[in-house]
Structure 1
Amino acid sequence: MKIFSGLSRKATYLMAAAALAVMAAPMSAKAEDRVSAVHAFPEFLVYTKTFLAMVADINERGKGIVQIDVRGGPEAIGMFEQPAAVRDGVVDMVHTPGSFYGANVPEIDAMVASRVTPMEARANGGAALMDKAHQERFNVRHLGWVDGGIKFHIYMNSEPKFRDDGILDLTGVKLRDNPIYHAFFEQLNATTASMPATEVYSALEKGVVDAAAWTEIGIPQLKWNEFLKYRVDPTFYNTDIGVIFNLDAWNALSPESQKLIQDVVIEWEGKSYADRQAEVAADAKTLADGGMSFVSHSAEAGETYRKMADDSAWARMYERIDGGGAGAETYMALRKAYALAE
């Protein structure tokens, strides 16, 4: 009986060990979440460098918890197709300007016309409102606003002309367009052509366009200054580059993964803001040293010019969300959070 009893105990131990192994296998496989990601712009642009550095930070701190696999940029999925790809779960995470999907989430225009920093928007509840709109309208989380605080100029290959009231006149100018600018450019009477940023160099070279709007930084990297010789001041709008994450994929992550990713993105809101501000003066010097002329509005006309841009963005959002009716509360809350300077 002792022999059989011993064998029984041994068999019990083996069965228990096997059961534990079976239970541990899925736990081990699930211990580290895997996230797929793409970015809108080519790798050489500073905005993509920010994203890749942020991903490297997450991966370093997320060993054993979560790892992000970057599949590439617009060569992997077209930049204008990326928002739909993350919404539909083709990829988990995308780094992209909100204006690329503004027709689906019109609240993004609050960031476009913002007079506050990303950090201020997070502190005053604006970031939470933006995330809520993204979840409800687009099946994604809006995790953060990175490289914020960078504004736009219009760059031209011929000397700018001005109306009698001192505002830029783009009559006859073939301007590269993008959804973020279109309403504003219409007011300036431009002839517009919409195209991805990756096609602009060729379009300038061939004369398809002779002007383009872009941020305060990045023109030298794109080499558009080989053709564009004038910069119109002052700046207008803000970069609205964010990190969005498929809502279903986000909910499937462990709480540890969610916290790590969100915490790091918030850290990079502040870090990237400071880093980009330091680069504005450097890029301006590069352009000036290369022969670009900076042409300014008068102080009064410049403020009117900026207000025209902001008002066009707010008006677009007002119409899209029914700001005078069902969307009035949202409109006013966003205006309060993102336009504090008014």
Structure 2
Amino acid sequence: MTSSTTFTNKLRALAGASALSAATLGLTGAAEARDFRLLSGWDSSYVAVDVLTSFIETLDEAVTEGFGVNVMGPETVPPFEQFDPVSRGLFDLLFTNGAYHFNQTSVGMALDGLSGDTEALREAGIWDAVDADYQEQGLKLIAVLYDLNGYHIMLNEPVGENGLEGRRVRGTPIYHPAINVLGGSPVVLPGGEIYPALERGVIDGAAWPTIGALSYRWFEVADYMMRPTFGQVGHLVLMNLDTWNDLSEETRAEIETAAREFEIEANGLFDTLVAEESAALEAEGMSVTELSEELAGTLSSAWFSGVMDLAATQSGEAIEEIRRLATEADLDG
């Protein structure tokens, strides 16, 4: 058993007797008033779901009436189609990444281009700005569970003096500025096609968060992990706005207090997951390949600008304000 598996099991133990299956996760508190229905953009193979499980347990303990949640994954509604049914009240909660609903609003995706934890975002006014935008879409921002370790690129060969020049690298549009500035050519593929594409040589690398490669066994078809990492991964917990407004003032206050505290705890949980997964990947034969200092600096600035520019094509006015707040607070990479 790998160390990453050990830590994942510890997180899952927080859920008590309940366990996430391919279909449903039921978490119930002894004093709960109702069960909330949550759509998750990921199934149990993505370990961020275990951080969500811990968060739900925290809410269940913090809310006087209890906070029971029934979690349904992408087998219920595909990840890129989950925003609308939650905003319309068919489900109560959504666990997602902002890039998954770019066509509705891009403010959530913009969070991945910043450099700072949620307390820094709150102090800068960015958290409230993002919340206000989501409320216009019928949703309430409950928490941003940040993996501050961000993203990396897995490769079949080490980086060269010219970075990724001449290589085909899988990446959804948010990754394209990072891939392009390193000289690579972006290839858009669903996550489920990464393994066979690497195996057949259709692509030379793949961009992904710094957790996930182990469970998908990409170490079998990629030998290197590019460093440094870039950006940070925002896992958003959103609630249907009508559901939120129907809660008592006391319950809303309890949720907000517990969520703010857990946001910081989540940083540590992700740090441990990433460290243990990286060690496990190295044990499976993957090696770290380092960008030059010059290329690393170029990547950092290109990531922030690229994410914001892309986000501005969808939610221009809101992104302009987020960019201004981030620059003033030195959270722009």
Matched to 1:56, the amino acid is E
How many Å apart are 1:57 and its aligned residue? Answer: 2.6
The aligned runs of 1:282-301 (5 Å cut-off) are: 282-301=276-295
Query: Partner residue of 1:190?
Result: 185
Matched to 1:222, the amino acid is Y
- Which has the higher mean CA deviation after the structures are superposed, 300-309 or 313-322? 313-322
Task: Find out whether 1:200 has 2:194 as its counterpart.
Answer: yes
Task: Find out whether 1:55 has 2:56 as its counterpart.
Answer: yes
Aligned 8 A contact 1:98 1:242 in 2:
yes
What count of residue pairs does the alignment treat as equivalent? 301
How many Å apart are 1:90 and its aligned residue? Answer: 2.2
Task: Find out whether 1:129 has 2:124 as its counterpart.
Answer: no
- Which has the higher mean CA deviation after the structures are superposed, 262-271 or 55-64? 55-64
Aligned 8 A contact 2:149 2:229 in 1:
no
| Aligned mates of 2:319, 2:64 — CA distance in 1 | 43
Query: Partner residue of 2:148?
Result: 149
2:174 partner SS: coil
Matched to 2:164, the amino acid is L
1:80 partner SS: helix
Per-residue CA deviation, residues 251-270 of structure 1 (Å, 9 max, x unaligned), is: 12222332233332222211
Aligned 8 A contact 1:135 1:141 in 2:
yes
Matched to 2:242, the amino acid is D
How many Å apart are 1:61 and its aligned residue? Answer: 3.9
Matched to 2:259, the amino acid is V
Per-residue CA deviation, residues 33-92 of structure 1 (Å, 9 max, x unaligned), is: 43110211121422000111211232344463542222x211121112122221222211
Query: Partner residue of 2:325?
Result: 333
The structure with the larger Rg is 1
How many Å apart are 1:127 and its aligned residue? Answer: 1.0
| Aligned mates of 2:158, 2:320 — CA distance in 1 | 42
How many Å apart are 1:117 and its aligned residue? Answer: 1.1
The aligned runs of 1:299-310 (5 Å cut-off) are: 299-310=293-304
Per-residue CA deviation, residues 141-181 of structure 1 (Å, 9 max, x unaligned), is: 11111033121110012343442xxx432x342x3322421
Unaligned runs of 5+ in 2: 1-31
1:180 partner SS: helix
Tell me: CA distance 1:305–1:328, structure 2 relative to 1, closer, same or farther (3 Å): closer
Matched to 1:158, the amino acid is E
Aligned 8 A contact 1:33 1:253 in 2:
no
Computed over aligned residues only, the root mean square deviation of the Cα atoms, in angstroms, reads 2.6
Query: Partner residue of 1:17?
Result: none
Aligned 8 A contact 2:178 2:299 in 1:
no
The aligned runs of 1:127-276 (5 Å cut-off) are: 127-136=127-136, 138-163=137-162, 167-169=163-165, 171-173=166-168, 175-187=169-181, 188-195=183-190, 197-205=191-199, 207-276=201-270
Query: Partner residue of 2:119?
Result: 119
Aligned 8 A contact 2:125 2:325 in 1:
no
Query: Partner residue of 1:314?
Result: 308
1:77 partner SS: coil
Per-residue CA deviation, residues 99-121 of structure 1 (Å, 9 max, x unaligned), is: 11133222234311111112221
Aligned 8 A contact 2:164 2:179 in 1:
no
Per-residue CA deviation, residues 180-215 of structure 1 (Å, 9 max, x unaligned), is: 2134334434141231x3443354445554421122
Tell me: CA distance 1:204–1:120, structure 2 relative to 1, closer, same or farther (3 Å): same
Tell me: CA distance 1:75–1:199, structure 2 relative to 1, closer, same or farther (3 Å): farther
| Aligned mates of 1:266, 1:152 — CA distance in 2 | 24
| Aligned mates of 2:51, 2:319 — CA distance in 1 | 34
Matched to 2:187, the amino acid is T
| Aligned mates of 1:42, 1:206 — CA distance in 2 | 26
2:146 partner SS: coil
2:331 partner SS: coil
TM-score, scaled relative to structure 1: 0.78
- Which has the higher mean CA deviation after the structures are superposed, 231-240 or 202-211? 202-211
Tell me: CA distance 1:286–1:329, structure 2 relative to 1, closer, same or farther (3 Å): closer
- Which has the higher mean CA deviation after the structures are superposed, 105-114 or 178-187? 178-187
Query: Partner residue of 1:96?
Result: 96
Query: Partner residue of 1:110?
Result: 110
Unaligned runs of 5+ in 1: 1-30
Aligned 8 A contact 1:127 1:144 in 2:
no
TM-score, scaled relative to structure 2: 0.80
Tell me: CA distance 1:74–1:320, structure 2 relative to 1, closer, same or farther (3 Å): closer
Tell me: CA distance 1:327–1:181, structure 2 relative to 1, closer, same or farther (3 Å): closer
1:295 partner SS: strand
